[in-house]
Amino acid sequence: MLIAVCCDRGAPGSTTTSLALGVSMPEPTIVVEADPYGGDLALRCVAPGGHGEAFPPTPTVLTLATEARTTVTPGLAAGKAHEFTGSTRVVPGHFSAEQAAGVKNWAPLAEALRASASRVVADLGRIHSSSPTIPVAAAADVVVMMTRPEVGAVMHLKDRLERLAPVLANIRNAPPVVVPVVVTPKRIAGAVLEHVGRMLAPSNAAGVIAGIGWIALDPTGVEAMHTGQVGGKKNARTPLLKSAGVLNDQINQAAGVGPYGTPEAAQVDAYAGHGEEA
């Protein structure tokens, strides 16, 4: 399965959410930092056994994109990924947009990610209808669009989705499956989801929305994840990773049965039992 995570505006948590989706999955998952304008996962994260060092400088997503021009195999993405924690591997991005100038066509990368034998979460960063990574979004089983709960942020997402959905549908010859995701504290998540749902309901692109998800605003959990402190039951139950686990379940359902309606309260209730001891 290929999941594309993107956003309309800066700093709504697409990179953190991508990594959390990977870390919270029990099955092998590859997180690919595919933001054409550059990323910083290699600076944020600590590789296992690295004693504070980040991932090696290569391979990166540019290495993967270059090789995908000539060779696409089920193991190509995994072969360019670095071990992170548990069953999660990471393909870091490049640091600046200038470094990606030589990659004129991102369609081969989309094909390689789609062909992967492992689950892939691709962080596309900010996206618009002419973004270089549109082929990756079009190839995705589910497109996760991140937003903050503020009215302005949600309205920007609504506008972006209305512009983006027909572009993706034209490329894939089918409507995309989109899950808008709100970054919010758990204590107000239910109310926020209902509010965002009402704002998006009149959208011209409402038909492609497969429910609305949320990810916990959890700075402590983010720090623990970036430093590899995600082992054991206690850390697996951080608000961040618990909410990511619920979001993974929602993504799986969206990919399997297409657009569906999940009551917002049920999504928050699912969080309460996620990651708890049996």
Q: Tell me the CATH number at 116.
A: 3.40.50.300
> What value does the mean pLDDT take over residues 157-168?
97
- 15 has a pLDDT exceeding 90: yes
Instruction: Answer whether residue 278 is part of any domain.
Output: no
Counting the structural domains of the chain, the total is 1
Instruction: Answer whether residue 117 is part of any domain.
Output: yes
Instruction: Answer whether residue 266 is part of any domain.
Output: yes
The CA-CA-CA angle for residues 130, 6, 74, to 5°, reads: 90
- Residue 201: what are its φ and ψ, rounded to 5°? -55, -40
Answer yes or no: are the C-beta atoms of 45 and 58 closer than 8 Å: no
Q: What pTM value is reported for the model?
A: 0.90
Closest Cα partner for 100 from 144, 55, 131? 131
The pLDDT confidence band at residue 79, using thresholds 50, 70 and 90, is very high
pLDDT for 104: 81
Structural domain including 204 reads 2-273
- Percentage of the chain beyond pLDDT 70 is 86
Label residues 203-227 b or e (16+ Cβ within 10 Å = b).
Answer: bebbebbbbbbbbbbbeebbebbbe
Instruction: Answer whether residue 250 is part of any domain.
Output: yes
Instruction: Answer whether residue 163 is part of any domain.
Output: yes
Instruction: Count Cβ atoms below 10 Å from residue 266 Cβ, excluding itself.
Output: 10
pLDDT for 57: 86
- Percentage of the chain beyond pLDDT 90 is 69
Give the residue, 167 or 105, on which the prediction is more confident.
167
The pLDDT confidence band at residue 43, using thresholds 50, 70 and 90, is confident
Answer yes or no: are the C-beta atoms of 61 and 91 closer than 8 Å: yes
